[in-house]
Structure 1
Amino acid sequence: MVVAIGLEGSANKLGVGIVKDGEVLSNCRRTYITPPGEGFLPKETAQHHRKHILPLIKEALEVAKMKPEDIDLVCYTKGPGMGAPLVSVAVVARTIAQLWNKPIVGVNHCIGHIEMGRAITKCDNPTVLYVSGGNTQVIAYASNRYRIFGETIDIAVGNCLDRFARLVNLSNDPSPGYNIEQAAIKGKKLLPLPYSVKGMDVSFSGILSHIEEKGRPLLKSGEYTVEDLCFSLQETVFAMLVETTERAMAHTGSQEVLLVGGVACNVRLQEMMAQMVKERGGIVYATDERYCIDNGAMIAQAGALLYTSTGKPTPWDETYIRQRYRTDEVEVSWR
């Protein structure tokens, strides 16, 4: 039995979670929220993480009813992500590993999302759609790697949604994507937008540029509402993601789809994916916002799997961070 504590801070979410043999004992989180129309910058995000991480570790231990001596393993997000926030959390992870005399494991953020999704939903061997503010990938497991079958060639789908939310001055509380989702429910009129699927890859920068250019005049004229534009953007980008995921399912022969990452919380995306998968006789798996959104438990889960399968921690001189750290670089020794 391995009890692992996981520290996540690759973007504006700071999470600390404790996992014991796949069971989540605690999963505490703080979010750095900026005013409407503004994004989050590395320096300020790192300051937020440094301010809250020690109280959050204490809270996670209290919720799990554990003490430092009960922890067997310290796990942290090695990357990918924003440099300053990653470093601020990695420093704390290295410090408590030394203070508590525990082994330490650096975890790939993307692998954390996948393994948390697999653990919670109990799916077997799914085609994975990983969609977040920093990543958009269609993934499947083969030969001890999570292989990337398709991905964005420019910006992530979550980044596209976030930047559009800033354009129309939607609130960042609790998240821009959630507020777009709620506004889109009231949308009635579909604005034709560029549909950019290139083989297995997708592109969102042109869609964003188009709606930035056309959106303001259409809103000013009253021809479209903010809700209409939210609806139009969602329907277009999600259709692209469903198409590439279906193509990956056909290639791998999989009958399961697992949605992970912050954007996977979106109910409309889940509905569209479920319709496609049902037509193929398959099943869609998704988790709620506790596990879709960046969290510490997913880092603890992936770190524990890596540690128990190899019996080795991350060498101390390799406990740095990597802003660019691809999903398919990690050897999946536990499957």
Structure 2
Amino acid sequence: MAPLKKRRLALGCEGSANKLGIGVIAHPADGQPGSAAAVVLSNVRDTFNSPPGTGFLPKDTAAHHRAFFVRVALAALRDAGVRDPAAELECVAYTKGPGMGAPLTAVAVAARTLALLWGLPLVGVNHCVGHIEMGRSITGADNPVVLYVSGGNTQVIAYAEQRYRIFGEALDIAVGNCLDRFARTLEISNDPAPGYNIEQLAKRGGRVLLDLPYAVKGMDCSFSGILTSADELAAQMRAGNKTKDGDDITPEDLCFSLQETVFAMLVEITERAMAHVGSTQVLIVGGVGCNERLQEMMAAMAAERGGSIYATDERFCIDNGIMIAHAGLLAYETGFQTPLEDSTCTQRFRTDEVHVKWRD
């Protein structure tokens, strides 16, 4: 008789944007479905960076993921101490969506290949739910209002009746996309990330808060008009023009003003959701969630309400494979699998479409 496993392992593959992430997660085998304390065994990531002033094209990003998938997967297995994936892993999880079509497809095909090679079940994972479950596991947040902020998504979310319900979201571009595109306007480096470099410039600014539109509409936000106004101010800066108060316009003050404005909007709609559901906890997830100023502003709001903030560092905020492995294993433990004929991906996969069967 084969010995009983003391833990369940899953491999997760993420590639919805320019981050290729593969990792291995472990849950205790004797835990109840959905109650497992996750243990990160490996978290390997490789990022496709385009030159300053440019964005990453889907075809180039997909080519990067195809080129690096094998070496990243081997590194993830090696770091996790997995020598026989077919025997040691429970399933292979992959990002089904949302995200960029070509990169999603490249990683989905590779994950399907591994599942077939090792004879393992395949589990398609919602990218947003992966962020939420990883954040909950790492921080220990119980039942928070979630602010999910990334390059492709901006949502305020709360859990109810086995669904993550969206209370508010961006009506046009995501906040991360707004920051990334402004980084291109200023021709800021994309290494390690344009949003990170904007944050560093903003820390050196703060002398002048430039006037930018503030676009909150109920529980939703709009960022395209703010980006247009910031671009116009950048053009005035290049022309040598000053503000209406006679101050010079600097890249540092532009970055500071953009951050302060968009983050204030996010804090406002998050606080409104907290009041609606009666929660005192805020969990920030997604790549923009690494921003220290956003965390600081949200923490001040939560403290005024007698609440607390939960956030993680770049290992777990930025797209990674372990969040896909974790959410995939949670779903697998409740009996969910993705049949091979349904192992597709989609650019549009709403957070509230997922049946969160592992939560009460």
TM-score normalised to structure 2 length: 0.92
Displacement after TM superposition at 1:133 (Å): 0.2
Match of 2:203 among 179, 185, 188: 185
What displacement does 1:270 show? Answer: 0.2
Counterpart in 2 of 1:318? 342
Q: 2:105 aligns with which of 71, 84, 87?
A: 87
C-alpha separation between the residues in 2 aligned to 1:96 and 1:185? Answer: 44
Counterpart of 1:48? 64
Provide structure 2 residue ranges, at least 5 long, that are not aligned to the other structure.
1-6, 28-37, 243-247
Equivalent residue number for residue 201 of structure 1: 220
Tell me what 2:265 maps to: 240
1:9-20 maps to which residues of 2 (within 5 A)? Answer: 9-20=15-26
How many angstroms does 1:41 deviate by? Answer: 0.4
Question: 1:25, 1:63 within 8 Å by CA — same for their partners in 2?
Answer: yes
User: How big is the shift at 1:128?
Assistant: 0.1
Specify the SS of the correspondent of 2:50.
coil
The answer for the alignment partner of 2:245 in structure 1 is none
Identify the residue that residue 8 of structure 1 maps to in structure 2: 14
Map of 2:34 onto structure 1: none
Counterpart CA distance in 1 for 2:307 and 2:357 is: 27
In structure 2, what residue type is equivalent to 1:205?
S
The structure 2 residue matched to 1:37, chosen from 34, 47, 53, is 53
Distance 1:312 1:80 in 2: 19
CA distance in 1, matches of 2:185, 2:234: 9
The residue identity in structure 2 corresponding to 1:210 is S
1:2 Cα offset (Å): 1.8
Indicate yes or no: 2:231 matched with 1:215: no
Residue 220 of structure 1: how far off its partner (Å): 3.1
**Structure 1 residue identity aligned to 2:336:** K
Among candidates 303, 307, 312, match of residue 278 of structure 1: 303
Query: Aligned partners of 1:218 and 1:194: how far apart in 2?
Result: 18
Please provide the CA RMSD for this pair.
0.8
The equivalent residue for 1:139 is 157
Query: How far, CA to CA, are the matches of 1:196 and 1:287 in structure 2?
Result: 27
CA contact (8 A) 1:219 1:225 kept: no
Q: Which of the numbers 109, 121, 127 marks the counterpart of 1:109?
A: 127
CA distance in structure 2 between the aligned counterparts of 1:211 and 1:118, rounded to whole angstroms:
34
TM-score where L is the length of structure 1:
0.99
What is the CA-CA distance between 1:219 and the residue it aligns to? Answer: 4.2
Is the Cα–Cα contact under 8 Å of residues 37 and 166 in structure 1 kept in the other structure? Answer: yes
Aligned to 1:229, the other structure's residue is in SS state helix
Q: In the alignment, which residue of structure 2 is the partner of 1:265?
A: 290
Q: Counterparts of 1:279 and 1:62 in 2: how far apart (Å)?
A: 46
Match of 2:254 among 229, 236, 241: 229
Q: How many residues align?
A: 334
Secondary structure, counterpart of 2:227 in structure 1:
helix
The structure with the larger Rg is 2
Residue 171 of structure 2 corresponds to which residue in structure 1? 153
CA distances 1:14-55 after superposition (whole Å, capped 9, x unpaired): 000100011100000000001100000000000000000000
**Which amino acid in structure 2 is aligned with residue 235 of structure 1?**
E
The amino acid of 1:284's aligned partner reads: I
Q: What are the superposed Cα offsets for residues 180-220 of structure 1, whole Å, 9 maximum, x if unpaired? A: 00000111211010000000000000000111123211343
Corresponding residue number in structure 1 for 2:139: 121
Task: Using the TM superposition, name which of 205-214 and 156-165 deviates more.
Answer: 205-214
What SS does structure 2 have at the residue aligned with 1:227? helix
Distance in 2 (CA, whole Å) between partners of 1:118 and 1:10 is 21
Query: What is the CA–CA distance in structure 1 between the aligned matches of 2:107 and 2:178, rounded to whole Å?
Result: 26
- Shift in Å at residue 315 of structure 1? 1.6
Q: Indicate which of 20, 39, 43 corresponds to 1:23.
A: 39
Structure 1, unpaired ranges of 5+: none
Task: Tell me, yes or no, if the aligned pair for 1:80 and 1:322 is still in contact at 8 Å.
Answer: yes
Kindly report structure 1 stretches of 4+ aligned residues shifted beyond 2 Å: none
1:70-105 CA-to-partner distances (Å, cap 9, x unmatched) read 111100000000000000000011111011000010
Residues 247-294 of structure 1: CA deviation (Å, up to 9, x unaligned): 000000001000000000000000000000000000100000000000
Q: Does the residue aligned with 2:92 lie in a helix, a strand or coil?
A: strand
Q: 2:354 aligns with which of 306, 330, 334?
A: 330
| Local SS of the residue matching 1:2 | strand
Residue of structure 2 equivalent to 1:253: 278
Q: Is 218-227 or 30-39 further displaced after alignment?
A: 218-227
Shift of 1:318: 1.1
CA–CA distance in structure 2, aligned partners of residues 96 and 133 of structure 1: 28
